[in-house]
């Protein structure tokens, strides 16, 4: 049974108990009134009939109280047998209340019944027959006069017109100085004045059958109200007169005194029985009220507890909408409110959790779509993509990356890359990134040259960091692009430009050679006496221009046929000093020195090519300085690699020329070939390094070479 049903049932029981208590009170009041009437009036209803009815009502009510009392006790016993929640507490509380009320109520009952019996015995000790006989006639005449007047007023009310409303009846009552005026249709009072209760059904039936009827009412102050009812036109008109308490008591005394002494002694046992039964009824009612109070108090505790237990069971089964719908204003109310707040919080939390779960599912679906899209893109693109986590594990390797790096179908690992000499630079780049030896948002970019069945392939590798939550290490993404065709096209374009440049440079010395030859031939034909001098001068020009052509061809051969790079462990500081020693004393006003900040150790480079690049840069620095200046060769560690810097105090390099400085066809010298810095750039590129030019402070230029550690 739910808490709401239990509450409704309790309210029904409460109404039953209250109704029974009111009925007992009414019966007890009726006993008191009838006892008084039994001693004062004998004109309307015989005392024996009144006592019989009273006794019958008492017995009926006693049986009803006993039934309800037994029913309550049996219900409690059955609840205790079923083990219902709170039955033991109800039993203890009920036993306590019965113990506290049964003993004093029993003593009071026996004491009261004894007092009643002695009081009734004293009623017959004072005869009043002689007074009643003389006053009887006077009382009859007074009563008849009042009744006749009331009937006359009722008939006047019936004959009056426009008396069907409360206001009309009120005016009639005031005009005739009546206590009340009423109008009935059937058994329903349709209008009234005077504030009196409706006439009983018996009086209305009597008026309807006989045409008129009288009703004598005894008021609580001892006064009488005589109400006459007259039937007219299907309606019943009633008028009432108020008899003051002094006159009423006198009339009642006269009326009852006449028969008291004659019949009172005969009805003595009935009077005693009626009074005893009334007291027994009150005793049982008090006992029942005690039991009911105990049960009510027990229910006020057990019903909320049972509701809490039921709601707890529902919450345990997953129904978080369970609430305790029981009114409680004491500490149990605080407990109920706390439970309801807890249940509401749980329901709200579950709602939020379900909402979050739905959002998470939607996010997962969206991520799944994005993941499939990304997988499709990775499967389709020609750029190789490798993803490495912070632990060095490969999490992504698309087909393009496998094809470009010629990897096996098995998932790649760092060990797999280290096992292949051509992929060791790639493994070293990943390890340097993991170790934090690379800095910047775009960590690294490098080139790989791999041998294949169709020749060498040149791959450009870019490494970028993956974003990670604060305090956690992220991974890296490597993008691999096949730039073989780009490099081939660049080479073709470069060779085409070099060929054009070389053709242009060869054409320049051919003109003076031709002119010198033509001059000598012309002088020879004419027999010019200055022929020997002309031949000498022309021969000198031809030799000079041929020497220039020879140097041009030599530099072109050097650029075109650089030897294959052979890296080996090299002490860069010693290599730089060896290159600088070649220029010692080259010019009196120029100083050349080496500043090395490298830690002790070696690095794998091709010493011949690096030395050749340094010599070329130092030679350009000498040319830029002129007669006076300073050249410094600096070596330092940088981001896991090394930095070689050649700084001079010459005229510097204009910003507009820096982008073209390393192109094969660009030169700032009048008779230069433009291949020197192109050779340096190619040597640095073969070492997977980079070269750039910056301004020197306060004047001059700095050529900076950055080489990786591996």
Question: Which domains can be identified in the chain, with CATH numbers?
Answer: 3-124+265-306 (no CATH), 140-256 (3.30.450.20), 381-482 (3.30.450.20), 489-560 (1.10.287.130), 568-707 (3.30.565.10)
For residues 256 and 41, the answer to whether their CB atoms sit within 8 Å is yes
What is the structure's pLDDT at 337?
A: 77
Residue count of the chain: 710
Question: The tokens of 541 are what?
Answer: 């020009």
What is the structure's pLDDT at 267?
A: 65
> If we measure between CA atoms, which residue out of 258, 254, 268, 261 comes closest to residue 125?
261
What is the structure's pLDDT at 646?
A: 92
Query: Do you find a cis peptide bond into 698, omega within 30 degrees of 0?
Result: yes
Strand extents, DSSP E, 20-100:
none
The sheet with strand 629-638 has its strands ordered as 590-596, 629-638, 641-648, 701-707, 690-695
> If we measure between CA atoms, which residue out of 309, 291, 268 comes closest to residue 120?
268
Question: The tokens of 453 are what?
Answer: 């069945």
Residue 532 has a CB neighbour count (10 Å cut-off) of 10
d(CA 529, CA 371): 94
d(CA 706, CA 610): 12
Antiparallel, parallel or unpaired: β 224-232 and 212-218: antiparallel
The sheet with strand 188-193 has its strands ordered as 188-193, 180-185, 235-243, 224-232, 212-218
Please, what's the largest Cα pairwise distance for the chain? 210
Instruction: Write down the pTM of the prediction.
Output: 0.35
What is the structure's pLDDT at 3?
A: 47
Question: The tokens of 68 are what?
Answer: 């309800």
What is the structure's pLDDT at 177?
A: 85
For residues 588 and 545, the answer to whether their CB atoms sit within 8 Å is no
Residue 435 CB contacts under 8 Å (≥ 6 apart), including other chains: 640
For residues 624 and 652, the answer to whether their CB atoms sit within 8 Å is yes
d(CA 430, CA 411): 16
In the predicted model, residues of the chain with pLDDT beneath 50 are 1, 3, 38-45, 128, 439-442, 561, 670-671
Residue 389 CB contacts under 8 Å (≥ 6 apart), including other chains: 395, 475
Phi and psi, residue 499, nearest 5°: -60, -45
Question: The tokens of 101 are what?
Answer: 């009320």
CA distances 248 to 42, 139, 598, Å, are 14, 10, 136
Q: Is 473 left (phi over 0), alpha (psi -120 to 50) or beta?
A: beta
Question: The tokens of 38 are what?
Answer: 């039994």
d(CA 566, CA 585): 32
Helix (H, G, I), strand (E, B) or coil at 240: strand
d(CA 679, CA 673): 11
Residue 339 has a CB neighbour count (10 Å cut-off) of 19
CA distances 154 to 184, 203, 234, 683, Å, are 12, 14, 15, 140
Question: The tokens of 490 are what?
Answer: 């660049």
DSSP assignment string, 432-496: HHHHT---SSS-EEEEEEEEETTEEEEEEEEEEEPP--TTS---EEEEEEE-HHHHHHHHHHHHH
For residues 431 and 414, the answer to whether their CB atoms sit within 8 Å is yes
For residues 39 and 55, the answer to whether their CB atoms sit within 8 Å is no
Helix (H, G, I), strand (E, B) or coil at 665: coil
Report the run of H or E that residue 641 belongs to, with start and end: strand 641-648
d(CA 463, CA 478): 4
Helical spans, DSSP H, in 561-692: 572-581, 607-625, 676-686
d(CA 499, CA 406): 36
What is the structure's pLDDT at 437?
A: 58
Question: The tokens of 40 are what?
Answer: 């004062």
């Amino acid at each position: 049974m739910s808490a709401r049903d239990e509450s409704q049932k309790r309210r029904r029981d409460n109404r039953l108990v209250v109704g029974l208590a009111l009925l007992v009170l009414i019966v007890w009041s009726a006993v008191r009134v009838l006892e008084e009437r039994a001693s004062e009036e004998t004109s309307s209803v015989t005392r024996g009939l009144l006592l019989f009815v009273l006794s019958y009502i008492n017995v009926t009510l006693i049986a009803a109280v006993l039934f309800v009392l037994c029913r309550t006790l049996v219900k409690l016993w059955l609840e205790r047998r079923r083990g219902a929640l709170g039955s033991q507490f109800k039993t203890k509380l009920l036993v306590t209340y019965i113990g506290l009320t049964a003993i004093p109520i029993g003593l009071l009952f026996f004491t009261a019944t004894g007092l009643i019996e002695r009081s009734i015995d004293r009623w017959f000790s004072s005869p009043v027959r002689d007074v009643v006989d003389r006053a009887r006639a006077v009382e009859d005449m007074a009563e008849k006069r009042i009744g006749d007047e009331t009937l006359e007023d009722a008939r006047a009310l019936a004959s009056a017109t426009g008396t069907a409303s409360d206001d009309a009846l009120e005016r009639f009552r005031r005009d005739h100085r009546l206590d009340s005026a009423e109008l009935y249709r059937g058994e329903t009072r349709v209008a009234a004045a005077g504030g009196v209760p409706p006439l009983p059904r018996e009086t209305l039936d009597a008026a309807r059958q006989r045409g008129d009827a009288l009703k004598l009412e005894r008021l609580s102050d001892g006064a009488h109200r005589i109400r006459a009812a007259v039937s007219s036109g299907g309606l019943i008109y009633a008028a009432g007169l108020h008899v003051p308490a002094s006159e009423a008591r006198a009339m009642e005394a006269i009326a009852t005194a006449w028969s008291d002494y004659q019949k009172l002694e005969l009805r003595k046992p009935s009077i005693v029985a009626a009074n005893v039964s009334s007291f027994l009824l009150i005793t049982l009612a008090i006992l029942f009220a005690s039991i009911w109070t105990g049960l009510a108090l027990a229910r006020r505790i057990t019903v909320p507890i049972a509701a809490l237990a039921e709601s707890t069971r529902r919450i345990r089964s997953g129904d978080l909408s369970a609430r305790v719908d029981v009114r409680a204003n004491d500490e149990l109310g605080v407990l109920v409110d706390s439970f309801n707040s807890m249940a509401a919080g749980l329901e709200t939390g579950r709602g939020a959790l379900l909402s979050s779960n739905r959002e998470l599912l939607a996010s997962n679906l969206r991520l799944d779509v994005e993941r499939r899209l990304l997988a499709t893109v990775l499967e389709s693109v020609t750029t190789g993509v490798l993803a490495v986590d912070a632990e060095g594990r490969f999490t992504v390797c698309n087909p393009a990356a496998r094809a470009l790096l010629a990897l096996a179908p098995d998932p790649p690992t760092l060990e797999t890359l280290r096992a292949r000499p051509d992929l060791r630079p790639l493994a070293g780049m990943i390890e340097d990134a993991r170790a934090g030896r690379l800095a910047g948002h775009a960590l690294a970019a490098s080139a790989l040259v791999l041998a294949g069945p169709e020749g060498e392939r040149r791959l450009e590798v870019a490494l970028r960091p993956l974003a990670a939550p604060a305090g956690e290490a992220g991974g890296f993404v490597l993008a691999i692009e096949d730039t073989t065709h780009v490099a081939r096209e660049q080479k073709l374009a470069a060779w085409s430009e070099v060929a054009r440049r070389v053709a242009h440079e060869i054409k320049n010395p051919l003109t003076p050679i031709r002119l010198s030859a033509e001059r000598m031939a012309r002088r020879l034909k004419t027999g010019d006496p200055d022929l020997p001098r002309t031949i000498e001068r022309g021969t000198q020009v031809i030799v000079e221009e041929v020497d220039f052509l020879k140097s041009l061809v030599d530099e072109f051969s050097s650029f075109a046929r650089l030897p294959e790079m052979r890296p080996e462990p090299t002490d860069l500081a010693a290599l730089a000093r060896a290159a600088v020693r070649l220029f010692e004393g080259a010019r009196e006003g120029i100083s050349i020195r080496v500043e090395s900040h490298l830690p002790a150790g070696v690095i794998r480079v091709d010493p011949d090519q690096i030395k050749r690049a340094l010599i070329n840069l130092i030679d350009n620095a000498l040319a830029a300085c002129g007669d006076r200046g300073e050249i410094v060769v600096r070596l330092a560690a940088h981001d896991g690699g090394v930095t070689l810097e050649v700084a001079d105090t010459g005229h510097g390099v204009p910003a507009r020329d820096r982008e073209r400085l390393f192109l094969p066809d660009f030169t700032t010298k009048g008779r230069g070939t433009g291949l020197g810095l192109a050779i340096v750039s190619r040597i640095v590129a073969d070492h997977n390094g980079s070269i750039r030019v910056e301004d020197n402070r306060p004047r001059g230029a700095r050529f900076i070479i950055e080489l990786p550690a591996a």
